[in-house]
Structure 1
Amino acid sequence: MNVAVEHIATDQPPDDAKARDLDYDWQSGNQIELLENGEAYFPKVFEAMRAAQREILLETFILFEDKVGFELKDILIEAAQRGVKVVASLDGFGCGELSVSFLRELAEAGVAVQMFDPASKTLGIRTNWFRRLHRKIVVVDAAVAFIGGINFSADHLGDFGPEAKQDYAVQIVGPAVADLHHFALAQSGRQVRTRRGWRRRPQRPAPWATSEEDGLVRLIYRDNVQHRDDIEEAYIHALSKARTRAVIANAYFFPGYRLLREIRNAARRGVHVQLIMQGQPDVLLAKLAARMLYDYLLKDGVVIHEYCQRPLHGKVALVDDDWSTVGSSNLDPLSLALNLEANVLIRDRAFNQQLYESLETLARNHCQTMPEKRKPRLWLWRLTVGFLVFHVMRHFPVLTGWLPAHKPRLKPIESPAHDV
């Protein structure tokens, strides 16, 4: 029995570009729930999937064959067998170790499995390092959506041990779910139709909602075509308008100069700016890169915390008392210049306060704070090197586009028929 797994490269526009080049406006009247770590996230997602009647759309960077991955597989198989349309879009790098038997079970049950940029190892080394499908989105029956930084793996649960990740996602119910559903369908290559035919592309909206009401949500994303800087611009715009406070908790922090300047400028005009970074990173280079920027930010009053209880995997931020963002995008060259990412912007005071209290608890109880006055360590030289590295990375999509693994193509791949 062959296992048919589609190979999809969605960082290039498809034949019908209108289905992919999408902008989404603010949607009001949404209910937003913060989900912290796998203990809150997995039960909510699995409950929604078990209750699905028509459709489950899933995108994830990582799916492991562990207790979380096996439970997800069983839920998807059961849903497909009862007639639910199930589409699972997986990243070829993050999910590259999945066995043929695991994929076969999904395919035989009727789950449509799509692998973004799969590549076999060359001399035992993976070749598909760049342009990852890094989004984490689940939409069930176009009625409830989940988005954030949490993958389907047991290392997002506390019982995993010292290496369990600290992370965040949100559950959304309301009009914004239609945008997440539309986006997930379009990115999976499926037809996106409404009662009036193809959905028209709306006018590109302003990044800042002016309404005083709560429950506002806007989907933003980055690709390597028309939306390269949307997430970065949202951060810059929000920080430029900050009046009282700004908190950024990000696993991999190595942004470009424009975003660093807005962080610094906010602190200079009296905004209480806090950064929560990794103190025990799963990638040591991430910590070293972030620390290259510390002196530049500390000297202007930015408060920097390093989370030391376990690896920080979150990608969240808040500004003042009503603006927040949660999603998959880090603030480093991979996320800001290479990966396929998605965040939601949220204007909601209750949600903002809930996220603020969670991050304050983290900073107060589980972080070490960098001293305001550190001995200068050639900060100007390190900052210059950092800028050069970042902007070289920003042009990497062009370079990696020359590699065979990243030529845009959409075709089925037949996996071996033998048992594993």
Structure 2
Amino acid sequence: MTRFVANNQITLLRNGEEYFPALLDAIASARYEVHLQTFIFEADDTGLRVAAALQAAAQRGVSVHVLLDGYGSRKLTRTVLDGMRAEGIEVTFYRPQISPWTLQRNRLRRLHRKVSVIDGTTAFVGGINIIDDLNVPNGMPPRVDYALRLQGPLVKDIHTSCVRLWQRISWANLQRTHSSRVPLALLDNPPPGQLRAAFVVRDNLLNRRAIERAYLKAIGNAREEILIANAYFVPGRRFRRALVSAARRGVKVRLLLQGRMEYWLMLATHAFYRQFLREGIVIHEYHKSFMHSKVAVIDGRWATVGSSNIDPFSLLLAREANVMVLDADFSQQLRSDIERSIRDGGQQVHADDWERERWGKRVVSWLVFGMVRVILGMLGHSNKH
């Protein structure tokens, strides 16, 4: 069951333009401890600024721990890594890079969450990697993505999650671990706020379907509107049934999906267009740039921001982290921003056009979807990490 905690301060951050200044300010004010966990850490201008801020924190005696995914951060240069480690920053990798052509059972079990905690009092959770917004091809506009800045009682849960994951991976890699240096007085006396929120993780131990269940419960309770903006959307059978059931009982269901094909596996998204469009579900594709969002608003009072896509890799394999918020004002703020993306860069997919003009794409999408299922079957399931 999703555990909501009251009295939190939560700020919605759109894109790196808002996220990175907030993150850098928080790191600059750190006194005790910084945890940063991310899928991608790129050695571009943004990544170098974050690395410099972490090094400066370590130089003044802050305990800094950086956990990176071995595949997502495979391009991080030795110069940046050595520079951070030379200042006493502990850097470790979740699953070293494995060849994309290797069908090892655990290859797709990645650290996909993007979570940072500073001094156990300020946390950042979302979908934004440590990479510049303009690190996109062909001079396109910045990618669209979101994160949250949190203060309040929920941060203690996030801090505990980061420390435990760090310790677990350190043990697995035969590295030394640490106890948190944050004073208990800070953890137990957070600044008060007004919002109810839950920190929901997906792992391969006790929380295999926690994020999916939270989504399904909110969708099942929806009475007016479901608005989902998700970059990689290949929902499983239960998720598809929940959306169709909501549409049939009169809920307005709208999807904002990635229109640009970053990876060929994204073609599997189109396999469900025909069914959804026939059921009255409205689909918009974002073509202006890359949309990396993993957010949703339901009935104007339930919202989520995080790292989890709605596909089998996020919902069944990767380590993910989302925050669910129960608040009308926050939900309306996020809803308005999604609406802006629809207006500025979205193109609606119409049922008649899809039926008449996209038959080839429909065939390819089902072939790719079949391949996804075969790959998942070959990779199997594991409890490791």
Aligned to 1:352: 331
AA partner of residue 254 (structure 1): V
CA shift in 2, pair 1:195/1:102, >3 Å: closer
SS in 1 for 2:308: coil
| C-alpha deviation, 1:233, in angstroms | 1.1
CA distance in structure 1 between the partners assigned to 2:89 and 2:241 by the alignment = 46
CA distance in structure 1 between the partners assigned to 2:249 and 2:3 by the alignment = 30
Match 1:177 to one of 135, 151, 155: 155
Match 1:327 to one of 306, 309, 315: 306
CA distance in structure 1 between the partners assigned to 2:8 and 2:343 by the alignment = 31
SS in 1 for 2:254: strand
SS in 1 for 2:380: helix
Superposed CA offset, 1:344-384 (max 9, x none) = 11101111000000011111231110113342759998898
Aligned to 1:73: 51
Aligned to 2:132: 154
AA partner of residue 112 (structure 1): E
Query: Is the contact between residue 255 and residue 390 of structure 1 (CA under 8 Å) also seen in structure 2?
Result: no
Matches within 5 A, 1:148-227: 148-155=126-133, 161-162=139-140, 164-189=142-167, 190=177, 215-227=195-207
Does 2:78 match 1:100?
Answer: yes
CA distance in structure 1 between the partners assigned to 2:362 and 2:53 by the alignment = 53
Matches within 5 A, 1:12-51: 25-51=3-29
Aligned to 1:318: 297
Q: Can you give the 5+ residue segments of structure 2 that lack an aligned partner in the other structure?
A: 168-176, 188-192
CA distance in structure 1 between the partners assigned to 2:248 and 2:218 by the alignment = 16
CA distance in structure 2 between the partners assigned to 1:140 and 1:347 by the alignment = 24
Matches within 5 A, 1:18-417: 25-119=3-97, 129-155=107-133, 161-162=139-140, 164-189=142-167, 190=177, 215-286=195-266, 288-373=267-352, 374-375=354-355, 377=359, 392=374, 395=377, 398=380, 408=384
Query: Is the contact between residue 255 and residue 284 of structure 2 (CA under 8 Å) also seen in structure 1?
Result: yes
CA shift in 2, pair 1:229/1:178, >3 Å: same
Q: Mean Cα displacement is larger for which, 151-160 or 336-345?
A: 151-160
What count of residue pairs does the alignment treat as equivalent?
364
CA distance in structure 1 between the partners assigned to 2:84 and 2:340 by the alignment = 40
| C-alpha deviation, 1:32, in angstroms | 1.1
CA shift in 2, pair 1:152/1:244, >3 Å: same
AA partner of residue 239 (structure 2): L
Aligned to 1:415: none
SS in 2 for 1:117: strand
AA partner of residue 32 (structure 1): I
| C-alpha deviation, 1:101, in angstroms | 2.2
CA distance in structure 1 between the partners assigned to 2:315 and 2:360 by the alignment = 26
CA distance in structure 1 between the partners assigned to 2:151 and 2:71 by the alignment = 31
CA distance in structure 1 between the partners assigned to 2:98 and 2:238 by the alignment = 38
Query: Is the contact between residue 337 and residue 395 of structure 1 (CA under 8 Å) also seen in structure 2?
Result: no
AA partner of residue 263 (structure 1): L
| C-alpha deviation, 1:280, in angstroms | 1.6
Superposed CA offset, 1:34-79 (max 9, x none) = 1110101000000100011111110000001110111111101110
Query: Is the contact between residue 327 and residue 343 of structure 1 (CA under 8 Å) also seen in structure 2?
Result: yes
Structure 1 ranges of 4+ moved more than 4 A: 120-123, 125-129, 156-160, 190-196, 376-397
AA partner of residue 45 (structure 1): L
Q: Mean Cα displacement is larger for which, 277-286 or 169-178?
A: 277-286
More helix by share: 2
| C-alpha deviation, 1:336, in angstroms | 1.3
* Pairwise CA RMSD: 3.1
CA shift in 2, pair 1:236/1:385, >3 Å: farther
| C-alpha deviation, 1:119, in angstroms | 3.5
Query: Is the contact between residue 61 and residue 95 of structure 1 (CA under 8 Å) also seen in structure 2?
Result: yes
Query: Is the contact between residue 251 and residue 312 of structure 1 (CA under 8 Å) also seen in structure 2?
Result: yes
Q: Can you give the 5+ residue segments of structure 1 that lack an aligned partner in the other structure?
A: 1-22, 200-212, 402-406, 410-420
CA shift in 2, pair 1:322/1:240, >3 Å: same
Aligned to 1:416: none
Superposed CA offset, 1:224-254 (max 9, x none) = 2221111111111110000111101000000
Aligned to 1:13: none
SS in 2 for 1:113: strand
CA distance in structure 1 between the partners assigned to 2:93 and 2:50 by the alignment = 17
